[in-house]
Amino acid sequence: MRSAAGTITTGSWPRAVAQSAPEMKASTRVRQEQEKAPAADMSALDDAALVRAFQAGRAEAFDAIVVRHRRQVYLLCQRFVRNHEDAADLAQDVFVRAFKGLQRFKGDASLATWLYRIGVNVCLNRVSVKRPEPAALDEAAHVDARTADPLHELMRGERAVALQAAIEKLPPKQKATLMLRVYQECSHEEIATALGSTVGAVKANFFHALGNLRRILKSS
């Protein structure tokens, strides 16, 4: 997965197993140095080091986590609720929940996947209470008339509105799978972790999501 900081993060976390004593000491020393990093240097640490620093009592490590992941978490929420104010509230809720749970985070998944898991749960709970407003038809008319082919752009805009409306009609798990796969660029394994599911179920959900979108678009 590509993080907001542009670095590749994987689902693997360093585990202090099968290490010789000198290696253990060296890695422990590095970790301790990282955990003592000044607040300004926190942004240089990777996610795993930030989590360790937070768990060691460095609350400012959480600020760096927020800065690194806020955009992706916000965009995930924005795609669910399609409203800036609600998306901002939900994204804030995601980070508050993460703050409360980070002491117990063991690193079985990447931090981003864990945040997405919280995000999907928060969004699905919210969406089940409050359905997002349907997209305004005016969105299709927001076409730059200076483009080479305004009619083509208009048709493309209409298709986009229809597709967005079709996505809103998907069952929650299919919608979450589509969001994480297409927009957050998660692997099937990461989606399975985020949704508490299996890779096979994720692929089946993705397949059915695409099939449902085709059906909805054809019928409209």
R_g over Cα of the chain: 21
Pick the closer one to another protein by CB: 19 or 135: 135
DSSP conformation letters of 6-49: S-B--S------S--HHHHHHHHHHHHHHHT--GGGGGGS-HHH
Pick the closer one to another protein by CB: 91 or 127: 91
Closest separation in Å from C-beta 117 to another protein: 18
Closest separation in Å from C-beta 111 to another protein: 15
Pick the closer one to another protein by CB: 44 or 67: 67
Closest separation in Å from C-beta 29 to another protein: 25
The footprint of another protein (CB under 8 A) covers 57, 59, 62-63, 66-67, 70-71, 74-75, 78-79, 84, 88, 91-92, 95-96, 99-100, 103, 156, 159-160, 163-164, 167, 178, 182-183, 188, 200, 203-204, 206-208, 210-211, 213-214, 217
Pick the closer one to another protein by CB: 29 or 156: 156
Contact call for residues 13 and 107 (beta carbons, < 8 A): yes
Q: 154: Cβ–Cβ under 8 A, 6 or more apart, which residues?
A: 140, 141, 143
Closest separation in Å from C-beta 30 to another protein: 25
Contact call for residues 137 and 161 (beta carbons, < 8 A): yes
Tokens at residue 142, please? 């927001």
How far, in Å, CA of 150 to CA of 95, rounded? 42
Cα–Cα distances in Å, from 193 out to 20, 27, 113, 116, 206? 31, 28, 7, 9, 15
Closest separation in Å from C-beta 26 to another protein: 29
Pick the closer one to another protein by CB: 84 or 169: 84
